[in-house]
Amino acid sequence: MKNQNTKVIVVDDHPLVIEGLKSSIGNNSGIEVVACFENATSLFSYLRKKTAQVVVLDINLPDMNGVEICEKVVKKYPHIKILGLSTYNDPSIIRQMVKNGAKGYLLKNVSSKELVSAIHQINEGQSYFSVEIQKILADSIFENDRIPRLTRREKEILKLVAEGVTTPQIAQQLFISPLTVETHRRNLIQKMGVSNAAQLVKMAIEQKLL
């Protein structure tokens, strides 16, 4: 009797990335991409009616970051395995994903072959972290890991938040959408391990990021 395919959901805010993942994952025997979503709202709406075995999850999404999504999925649907797939290589985010229940984490420069292998392994109850991710986590042990790595855009937004500039004003100034600004703000709060903008600014000053 033929084994059933591993049912996979892909969550990423870039349609081109989704198409690429569908093509690279879906062409491999033993894996079936059953749904793809660009935001958390659509994912949770789907999970209320249907399910899958593995969710391949990006970190930077428009309505909720991947770290929060991971925590909510694992708590509400513990049978679903989370595999982080992102450009974010900050050790604090990777560790938070693991803390929230992710079974694996890869960067988006990973090969299709390794991605497929990771999906199969975590579906079988194992963990999977690429060699690159393992090195990032190992190196971070010897660094002052309380100071997170911020992207250029995150630094820009942090500075403006500290100056009291509102989300619509930041969006206008940086020529991005207010939704994108809010996503960056959530990511900053997550990275800094705080719960609001005031604490974010205080921590940034203490860490000499401002």
Q: Break the chain into its structural domains and give their ranges.
A: 6-140, 152-206
What pLDDT is recorded for position 141?
A: 56
In angstroms, the CA 186 to CA 184 distance is 5
3-state SS assignment for residue 80: coil
Model pTM score: 0.73
What pLDDT is recorded for position 1?
A: 37
What pLDDT is recorded for position 3?
A: 61
Block residue for tokens 């900050």: 90
10-residue mean pLDDT series, the chain (210 residues): 80 94 83 95 97 95 91 96 94 88 95 94 94 83 62 91 91 92 87 79 78
Which of these CATH numbers, 3.40.605.10, 3.40.50.720, 3.40.50.2300, 3.20.20.80, describes 6-140? 3.40.50.2300
What pLDDT is recorded for position 174?
A: 94
Whether 6-140 shares its CATH topology with 152-206 is answered no
102: tokens are 């992710």
What pLDDT is recorded for position 81?
A: 98
119: tokens are 């999906």
Kindly list the strands in the beta sheet with 81-86, ordered across the sheet, starting from the edge strand earlier in the chain. 31-37, 6-11, 54-57, 81-86, 104-107, 128-129
In angstroms, the CA 45 to CA 188 distance is 27
Domain formed by 152-206, architecture: Orthogonal Bundle (1.10)
User: Pick from 103, 202, 96: which is nearest to 140 by CA?
Assistant: 96
3-state SS assignment for residue 106: strand
64: DSSP letter: S
In angstroms, the CA 37 to CA 32 distance is 15
